[in-house]
Chains A and B, each alone.
Chain A
């Protein structure tokens, strides 16, 4: 086993760069802001290294298909559960509520 992390990509063959600029969406800004608040003092729920570890530990298929901040929010969910701050069950039931509210409005 060489255990190469999915995020450890230095030297792998890849195509040309896409140099277009991107103005972060409000969703992306909120994910970024929440992540910073949760790991910074005074909360210090986790270290940035735990953040990286949970991103790398996403299912390889999910990791490859997901956008940058999509990985962040998936990692945030995993860490909130891992740290006992939220439970899987309450996230699932809230998700159903949010979806039905937003999709009918």
Chain B
């Protein structure tokens, strides 16, 4: 790697878009977090260990789980049928805990494209997709996608013909939705593991399509 600007050697720039962690608390709410945590720990209501364990459990929840499920659905028609029929049981059988939420899988086809939003808060299928991206929680996405879905999809680089019905799914209650994107063509001989790499987080929210295997290879 060339190092013309004295940047850290061996550190590529793929994380340039990520905001750095805040080392020293500056904002009122950061002090409030420390305050509440210390009070709860001092009083024995929570333990520091539990908080740490919860953070680690959270980090294990990622879109990779959802991608494995979608890849299985692409590869196995029976599995897909069960997933569409009873997502909770099927996801549980897959080894993922989904607690009290009602999980619902929606299949995208060339005729029907689902895109998920929560206009009231930021409901998201965390057990299989991890924590939501900032844009999913943003007022811009939540306000606009129900009214101008195609304009919003365009901002994600997703363009659909008028023949495809765009169906915006507002998860206003106890259900959490997983979109099964359209399986790309040219993937007939791919293994489940290879297929899972084509399934992005955004394709399972419905703001994007699954990756094109040709684009991935190039």
Contact = CB atoms under 8 A, between A and B. Distances in A.
A74 B27 CA distance: 13
A24 B34 CA distance: 16
Contacts of A99: 31
A69 B29 CA distance: 9
Nearest to B122: A68
How many chain A residues sit at the interface, stated as a range, is 35 or more
A66 B139 contact: no
Contacts of A38: 46
Given A11-B146, A98-B35, A33 B58 contact: yes
Interface in B101-130: 117, 119-122
Contact of B22 (A13, A14, A27, A43): A27
A34 B30 contact: no
B143 A18 contact: no
Interface in A32-61: 32-34, 36-38, 43, 52, 55
B142 A9 contact: yes
A76 B40 CA distance: 12
A1 interface: no
Contacts of B51: 30, 33-34, 37
Contacts, number: 146
A19 B155 contact: yes
A102 B27 CA distance: 12
Nearest to B155: A17
B143 A12 contact: yes
B146 A80 contact: no
Interface residues of B, number: 53
A77 B143 contact: no
A22 B133 contact: yes
B33 A27 contact: yes
B134 interface: yes
Given A66-B29, A74-B29, A85-B45, A37 B54 contact: yes
Contacts of B19: 22-23, 25
Given A27-B25, A74-B32, A10 B141 contact: no
Contacts of B50: 37
Contact of B131 (A32, A37, A70, A80): A32
B162 interface: no
Interface of B: 15, 17-19, 21-22, 24-25, 27, 29-40, 43, 45-46, 50-52, 54-55, 58, 117, 119-122, 131, 133-135, 137-144, 146-147, 152, 155-156, 170
24 contacts: A9-B139, A10-B117, A10-B119, A11-B146, A11-B147, A18-B138, A20-B17, A21-B133, A22-B133, A23-B21, A26-B21, A27-B30, A30-B37, A34-B37, A34-B46, A43-B45, A68-B137, A77-B32, A86-B39, A90-B39, A91-B35, A95-B32, A98-B34, A99-B31
